[in-house]
Amino acid sequence: MLDNSGKWQPEPDWASARLAGRTIALRAVTGLPQRLVSGDLDRFLAGHGLGKDVGALGLATGARYAVRLARDRLLAVGIPVDDGWHEAGYAVTGVGSALRVFEARGDGIRDLLARATTIDVDNPGPCAALSFCGVTAVVYFHEDTQTLRIHADRGLAVYLWEWFECQPLLSAR
């Protein structure tokens, strides 16, 4: 049988994967609990002590927060909640195994966004799920506007990492 595995780069060791350029440093974030929530999102947010979710390029703070994906769907990050249907009117599904998280930090974030997406950075919209480097990803700021988090399908993570490696903003010093 033909072995095509040599055509692709091996997956990086995500726990230690790092890129650094003049204006941006990039790393993979591991061990981040992620849950997909569908249904009555207001009741979910209230029931878990969360004020509001964030949209595209919104600013999430702390270890527990929610990111809007659609009108009736959000990504709950760092929130301990059981999977399944909840009587409050929402369903929860663990997706930590499905999404790889990258964190880019530095003064070149706006330049990175200009290369990776067509979104209007000054008017991004309520949904954090958008086209980023040609793949659908969840994109928002975390803690400050110099730190960008990107959640992408795990199967596309190596492609995304290779894209980052090719960017002048992230090429080695």
Q: What is the mean pLDDT of residues 134-157?
A: 96
Query: Contact 19/72 with Cβ under 8 angstroms?
Result: no
- Counting the structural domains of the chain, the total is 2
Q: What is the mean pLDDT of residues 143-152?
A: 97
Same domain, 146 and 163: yes
Same domain, 90 and 107: no
Same domain, 51 and 134: no
pLDDT at 173 over 50: no
Give the chain's mean pLDDT: 93
Q: What integer pLDDT is reported at residue 143 of this predicted model?
A: 97
Q: What integer pLDDT is reported at residue 117 of this predicted model?
A: 95
Q: What integer pLDDT is reported at residue 64 of this predicted model?
A: 96
pLDDT, tens only, 75-133: 999 999 999 999 999 999 999 999 999 999 999 999 999 999 999 999 899 999 999 99
% of residues, the chain, pLDDT over 70:
98
- In degrees and rounded to multiples of 5, residue 38 shows phi and psi of -130, 145
Q: State how far the Cα of 6 lies from the Cα of 57, in Å rounded to an integer.
A: 37
Boundaries of domain holding 87 = 34-94
Same domain, 71 and 127: no
Query: Of 52, 78, 94, which residue constitutes the final position of a domain?
Result: 94
Task: Give the strand pairing for 59-60 and 135-142.
Answer: parallel
Query: Of 74, 94, 114, which residue constitutes the final position of a domain?
Result: 94
Does residue 11 form part of some domain?
Answer: no
pLDDT band for position 171 (50/70/90)? low
pLDDT at 137 over 70: yes
Does residue 163 form part of some domain?
Answer: yes
Q: What is the mean pLDDT of residues 127-151?
A: 96
Strands (DSSP E) found in 122-163: 129-132, 135-142, 144-153
Any residues with CB less than 8 A from the CB of 33 and at least 6 apart, and which? 77, 78, 79, 80, 94, 96
CATH for 127: 3.30.1360.120
Same domain, 108 and 161: yes
Q: What integer pLDDT is reported at residue 71 of this predicted model?
A: 93
Same domain, 78 and 118: no
